Amino acid sequence: MNREQLVNAIQFIESNIELPKYIADIFESVKTGECHSKIIDRFVYDYSINKSIAKIDFLNVILEYIKTLLENNSLTAETTENVRFLKLLFHIEEGDFYFHKKCEIEQFIKLQLGNIYNDYYVSPEETFLKTELQELFDLSFDQMNKYAKNEAIALLQRGISPFDLDLLLTHSEYSSLPSPSLASVHKEI
């Protein structure tokens, strides 16, 4: 990540997300060139913030940043790199989102998957988005696939092909799906 990209990301966050004072101060230090993990520890200590509370605040900032990016249709390779940097800066480890923000990310992913499945087909761009969401929230393939299956169950029961929905089903799940009707098979031909 280059310096200009980092400053742009921080300015974007500052203009779109209400930040706790100590996080705003952390961002000011990062913008001025102090970009190391000891900054975080110093501000958390100076503001007498419990480390567990700080972790939740950091997760909230990153989650709001991701939401804002998606609302503005601005999720790109560059902004994904920004999220990776923020997770590194704030010591966000794999599993932190799932452990601390599970309900929020489940609702968020459900909304995004609903948007993806609304036309009964997952385009290559939407497949990329699913993969990016999985990576941004440090979810395993199985966790993301479970969310996708939960969201697509009604479509699957109506006979929409799981292949059109970018899902991986077990044999028993696939076998329990309704057989495609002759009309839908004829339509595909």
Distances from the Cα of 171 to the Cα of 78, 93, 174, angstroms: 38, 34, 5
Global confidence as pTM: 0.81
In the 8-state DSSP scheme, what is residue 177?
S
CB 156 within 8 A of CB 177: yes
What is the tens place of the pLDDT at every residue in 145-181?
Answer: 999 988 888 888 888 888 888 888 888 887 887 765 4
Instruction: Tell me which of 139 and 158 has the higher pLDDT.
Output: 139
End-to-end CA distance of the chain: 48
Closest CA to 30 of 11, 16, 45: 11
